[in-house]
Structure 1
Amino acid sequence: MLDTRAVSVGALQLWTERGFAATGWSELAEATGVSTRTLLRHFSSRSEIAWIGVAPATERLRDALARAAADEAPAVVVRTAIVGSVSRDRQVQELAPAWLRLISSEPELAATAPRIYQPWIDTLAAYLADRLPDSPDAICQALATAYQSATFAALIEWADAGARGDCADSVDRMLRWMDPHLPGSARA
């Protein structure tokens, strides 16, 4: 079984040293200790390796939203679920600043970000539509997109400030600013 985490770590280290565009599959194979053939069997593109952590974050978000109490304020549920979707794994947090720099500065990765984050946004939008039944679907999508943008901004700010502390705590602080503005929530 392929250790996707090890592949991701090796690839990120290589891309940090040489750049994303300057590395091909053979260099990735050498850096990760996995054959080119195996990499190509598991990943359709190099960018798929770069985005490997987003699907688990989406699952953590989905699980947290599903466990939320029906009587809890939507803003609290949303914030708590998003913060819970951010990995608190020490190794992930150590690599996060380099990953954030990579995905925000590499044109190919920046261009794929909207498609990659869409399942995360759709998960949150579906929750909002359920909790705010009078809100149009487009508004729920817009709110979920705003939360994704605020989450990403908090992570970038955390990385740019030296990645001190837990990045999930930075996300929590950022999203608390949004709490009173979510429809259906009591003013904080």
Structure 2
Amino acid sequence: MAYLSRLRLTNFRNLTHLDIELSPGVTVYYGPNAQGKTTLLEAVYLLCIARSFRAENERELVSFEAARSGEQALVDGTIQKEGRSLRVIVGYQPTQRSSQNANGLSYNVRKEIRVNRLKHSAGELIGQVNAVLFSAADIELVQGPPSGRRRFLDILLSQADQAYLKRLQRYHRVVQQRNQLLR
């Protein structure tokens, strides 16, 4: 069984710097609203899936102060799995700081994923450590449209079977190409 033994966050959402060590077993975090509890869950999930379950755009993951100064946001986790350590780092570097928006700044981010210091794609990361996340919004799995259920199952199956992930990625590319041809 795998467990997260250390989590380090830098400029990730509202958490400027966090470094916590964890033990195997259940960990409970509690506290007032807007203190970063969901951000912790988001960071852990990000280490497994390379995607946020909350953000519509990866820019949201970089704290505003870091984006303004061009600093990188990092999610850095050490996972103990089958007697070995797996260090996963997902970094978001603000780029193309150009025009001003309502918040005073417009930028994109470049994501970089490293596993034990080697660069990986998101597809290569998925399945190395499995995660299942349930949030309040997941009531939509039952009440919402089938697309939400398909997405949830696709994420679960992609973690268990790398071949499924490759076929799914290929399917999405074919659908996108078909739609472009139909325009």
- TM-score, normalising length: structure 2: 0.32
- TM-score, normalising length: structure 1: 0.31
Q: Which has the higher contact order (CA 8 A, sep 6+)?
A: 1
**Structure showing the higher helix proportion among its residues:** 1
**Structure showing the higher strand proportion among its residues:** 2
